[in-house]
Amino acid sequence: MRSIIVPIDGSPQSIQALRFAIGMARAFGDELVLLSVHGSSQILGENMLREAVTIAEQESVPYRTKVRVGGNPTIEISFEANDPGVRCIVMGLRGSGSDGASGKTLGSVSQGLLQLATRPITFVPYGG
């Protein structure tokens, strides 16, 4: 079974990306990796995953959770995606740290992953 990494930062954008990734996981028979990167706390990282876990369970899609603490989100997501079993990364265009005021289409993590990722990335626009 291959996996699809879905970075979850607690933003509505990351939840929308999760919903898109669920459809992909079903189509390919893949497992989701719900990944949280938190600057200082394992517990806070786990808390950011609660809603995503609830959705994955309600949708009966295979998943596992992973929390990485203390690192740069771009580097940590890229590191996780280096696993040979990873099919792709599915994430929002911008996350919780983006307010959209800068006029940029992509958030800083999304831009960084374009440079570092070794797997395909699907960016899901937020239609909230």
Domain spans of the chain, in order of start: 3-124
Rounded distance, CA 110 to CA 115, Å?
9
Evaluate the CA torsion angle 93, 109, 22, 16 in order and state its sign: negative
Tens-digit pLDDT profile for residues 24-35: 999 999 999 999
Confidence of residue 104 (pLDDT cuts 50, 70, 90): low
Report which of 30, 24, 36 is spatially closest to residue 85, judged by C-alpha positions. 30
pLDDT computed for residue 101 by the predictor? 47
Q: Which token pair is 17?
A: 């990306």
> pLDDT tens for residues 39-88?
999 999 999 999 999 999 999 999 999 999 998 999 999 999 999 999 99
Question: What pLDDT does 107 receive?
Answer: 84
Please state, in angstroms and rounded to a whole number, the distance separating the CA atoms of residues 40 and 120. 28
Q: Specify the pLDDT at position 96.
A: 57
CATH architecture, range 3-124 = 3-Layer(aba) Sandwich (3.40)
